[in-house]
Amino acid sequence: MRLLRSSILAIAAAAMAAPATAQELKLGYVTDLSGPLAGSYTPTWEGFDIYMQARNEDGGIAGATVDIALDDDGLRADRSVAAARKQIDRNRVIGIFGLSLSSTHAATLAETRKSGVPVVTAFSAIAEALPPAQDYYYSTGVMFEMAGEAIAELTGEIAAEGKVVGVTFDSVGGRAALTHNRLAAEELGYDWGEVIFPVRTADFTPFAQSVNEAAPDVVVGHYGAEQNLGMIAALRAAGYDGPYVIASYGASEATAAQAAQQAGSDENIYMVSRFAPASEEVEGMQALRDAAAAYGVNNPTSMHVTGWVLGAVVADALERCGTECDPEGLNAALQETSVETGGLTGGPITFSGDDHYGTSYWRLYKWDGTNLVAVGDWLAKDGLDFDIESN
């Protein structure tokens, strides 16, 4: 019944569709371009955009030019859903990319699945991408639970043992990250403490002092870029001068620089990220820097790298799908993804039929006053180590 209905709709849609102008591949990008976290999401979009522009100039993908419809969701699920619907119906996109906060993903997914349009997110990810993976949903982004575990393991590069205090704000995602961080850290023999503060905290002083009082050897912050600034200023003011790790949910070298400024010192600021900062000298970075310079992006950061890698993954799938690519074809192609990034992350991005996240690579960086410098090697994470029960 549903198959019949969707076939009828598909035929009707095809009949009503205007023919694409001269070999165009239509893609959709929805993210937060104007809301409170626009500072993090916009660079990711820029990275994706300059990748596609560079490919277009270079002859296109599979002989066709890429046309991207861009929409803003202002960090709200209902607008994300409306934007997805508009892009599918009016712009006739074959795939939707980017998205913003993980709390918007499930709703948007419910909408795009109705039309069989695949979604690849760049920034955050929800556990639906892990096996057994949900149809039509892929991600190259940061998953809360995965980040928590990765950071616990990477803490070893700073201190082999001691007390780790995790800090987050009172949101479902933050708590999930903290839980996985704790489980992994305790398994590795660390002592654990945690502080959770209300989402809308403006004054971090009491929380920073609670952290300080717990006598940590390492402090890890699981929240957005902005809170890092407030927290580190408060921590240093409270008298904690030890290592502070920024978990990169949208934080980049720019965040580290601002944090150093807020803290009044460059010392002991670390960051864990899936993608390399733009200052890193690896093979794949030069192409990005050239494109950034060519298309007016100043000071690229690891957030641009995130978008760039997404672009590469999408382009690869499009190539294999061909000029007449449609949503089903793109979805099938995505399931056979294996894209080398030339050092932009620790290894290839891989998707399979069952696993739409693949092995993810994480690395610890230290702020040296001008750049983020790698500490230790890439850590490969192949699925979650801890499974928090439930239904």
Partner 1 sequence: MELVINTLVLGAIYSLLAAGIVVIYKASRVVNFAHGEFAVLGAYLYFSLSQAMPGVPAILVVVLVTAICAALGATLYHVLMRRLVGRPPFVAAMVTIGLAIILKAAIVIGWESRSVGLNLTRIVLIDYGRGFRLTLIEAITIVTCIAAFTGIFAFFRYASLGRQFRGVAESALLASQRQVNINLILALAWALALGSAVIAGVLFGGRSILTPQSVFIGLSGLTAALVGGLDSFRGALFGGFLVAAATYLTARLVDPSLAEAVPFVLLLAVMLWRPWGVFGTREELNRV
Partner 2 sequence: MLPEPYQRTLLLVVSALLLCLPVILGPYGIHLMNLAMLAVIGAVGLNILTGYCGQISLGHASFIAIGAFLTATLSQRYGMPFWVTLPASCLLGALIGFVVGLPALRFRGIYLAITTLTLHYAIIYLLTAYQTAYGAAATAGIVVEPPRIAGFSLDSDLAWFYVLFAFAAATVFIGLNIARSYMGRAFIAIRERDVAAATLGINVTRYKLLAFMISAALAALTGSLTAYFTSVVTVEEYTLELAILYLAMIIVGGMGSIIGAVFGAIFMTLLPFMIDEIFQYLPRQYRYGTTLFGVQHAVIGVVIIGFLLVEPRGLIEVYRRLASYFERWPFRYREMKGG
Q: Where do contacts with partner 1 occur on this chain (CB under 8 A)?
A: 35-36, 38-39, 170, 195-207, 209-210, 212-213, 226, 229-230, 233-234, 237-239, 258, 261-262, 264
Q: How far apart are CA 324 and CA 57, in angstroms?
A: 20
Per-residue interface string for the shown chain with partner 2, residues 305-334, x marking contact by CB under 8 A = ------------------------------
Size of the site for partner 2 (CB under 8 A): 46
Is residue 59 classed as helix, strand or coil in its secondary structure? coil
**Half-sphere exposure (Cβ direction) of 242: Cα atoms closer than 13 Å:** 18
Residues 220-279 that bind partner 2 (CB under 8 A): none
Among 246, 245, 279, which residue's Cα sits nearest to residue 373?
A: 279
H/E stretch holding 247 reads strand 244-247
Q: Which is nearer to partner 2, 173 or 307 (CB)?
A: 173
- Decide which of partner 2, partner 1, none touches 70; Cβ closer than 5 to 8 Å per partner kind: partner 2
Minimum distance, C-beta of residue 165 to partner 1, in the bound complex (Å): 12
- Binding test (CB under 8 A) with partner 2, winner from 27, 46, 68, 76: 76
Torsion of CA 55, 60, 61, 62, to 10 degrees: -150
Sign of CA dihedral 49, 55, 61, 64: positive
Among 125, 129, 126, which residue's Cα sits nearest to residue 137?
A: 129
- Decide which of partner 1, partner 2, none touches 183; Cβ closer than 5 to 8 Å per partner kind: none
- Decide which of partner 2, partner 1, none touches 391; Cβ closer than 5 to 8 Å per partner kind: partner 2
Choices 66-74, 264-272, 310-318, 375-383; region in contact with partner 2 by CB under 8 A: 66-74
Our finding on whether 387 is near partner 2 (CB under 8 A) is yes
- Decide which of partner 2, partner 1, none touches 85; Cβ closer than 5 to 8 Å per partner kind: partner 2
Q: Which is nearer to partner 1, 259 or 314 (CB)?
A: 259
What CA–CA distances, in Å, run from 63 to 60, 338, 348?
5, 21, 25
Q: Which is nearer to partner 2, 12 or 215 (CB)?
A: 12
Q: How far apart are CA 276 and CA 285, in angstroms?
A: 9
Q: How far apart are CA 365 and CA 154, in angstroms?
A: 10
- Decide which of partner 1, partner 2, none touches 23; Cβ closer than 5 to 8 Å per partner kind: none
- Decide which of partner 1, partner 2, none touches 205; Cβ closer than 5 to 8 Å per partner kind: partner 1
Q: How many CB atoms lie within 10 A of CB 23?
A: 12
| C-alpha Rg value of the chain to the nearest Å | 21
Minimum distance, C-beta of residue 81 to partner 2, in the bound complex (Å): 6
Minimum distance, C-beta of residue 240 to partner 1, in the bound complex (Å): 8
- Decide which of partner 2, partner 1, none touches 148; Cβ closer than 5 to 8 Å per partner kind: none
Complete DSSP assignment for 306-371 = HHHHHHHHHHHHHHHH-TT--HHHHHHHHTT-EE--TTSSSS-EE--SS-SS--EEEEEEEE-SSS
Per-residue interface string for the shown chain with partner 2, residues 17-46, x marking contact by CB under 8 A = ----------------xxx--x---x----
Our finding on whether 102 is near partner 2 (CB under 8 A) is yes
Per-residue interface string for the shown chain with partner 2, residues 103-142, x marking contact by CB under 8 A = x-xxx--xx--x-----------xxx--------------
- Burial class (CB within 10 angstroms; exposed 0-12, middle 13-18, buried 19+) of 320: middle
What CA–CA distances, in Å, run from 222 to 142, 164, 232, 329?
12, 13, 12, 37
